[in-house]
Structure 1
């Protein structure tokens, strides 16, 4: 399993803003290449009130689109955030995926991304599909530092721990 942290640009400030979008399915290789082209093009041309945004976009684990903006150079305005959301909606339409389903959870199980609806979380815990140590993709991270340290975390260290009854 690749260490995703190696893909994050080192020259972005720790407080760079991050947005994580989770696809409802794994992108096929040809789709993933197309998505990466769209992300690279977007990041290269990302602007806020006419000023270039120091931006980065990449596809992680074939399923997570991560956008990052280093605001020490140029702050990201509502308009520039809107343009990133338009890009994600364009990707949704192009590839017939859902990128905004916050009820779908993702876990790293046996080096594969496994998805589970929030409504089935307790069932998965009760039947030992999910344990306190199962790695969870915490897509609520908001900064580069959180992406590096709090994106892929054990269930017991995430907000999910409060939602389920676990036997440790």
Structure 2
């Protein structure tokens, strides 16, 4: 190989290696062949027992001491089914109020693709409109824990869920929605 050829080939190979490395980092193509399943139970919280308008404490009419704790069922606030945007996405999203007043977004039977930097958002836009973007005031709930299964995301305290119309599975790296679910008031 002549000296001129080496001067051309070596830098070209270095550029190709750098471009390939950047491409692998950005696209993470191996995620097309992997899956992460998460199966979390719906969180439960105990609320203090209330009797005659006051919280029971200590030995107030009870043996054994200590406050009486009664498990209260979580209250479904809103729910909806996922629709596909950029990647096949299905399952159900529902917002739940726990007995202690905390709020949780629960994804059930979720099926979507893995991807780089995929996150879960509450959006003021309807699911169809979220395909074009999250809209103003979207609330990030965290990185997607897994692309399959059942998972919970804590809604920040003070968040008024009535202001949000959908849940969006959003890829930060490429600014695309994998899928979204409209939130409608839960029945019964």
Q: TM-score over 0.5 for the alignment?
A: no
Q: Which has the higher helix share?
A: 1
- TM-score, length basis structure 1: 0.26
After TM superposition, the score normalised by the length of structure 2 is: 0.24
The structure that is strand-richer by fraction is 2
| Larger Rg computed on CA atoms | 2
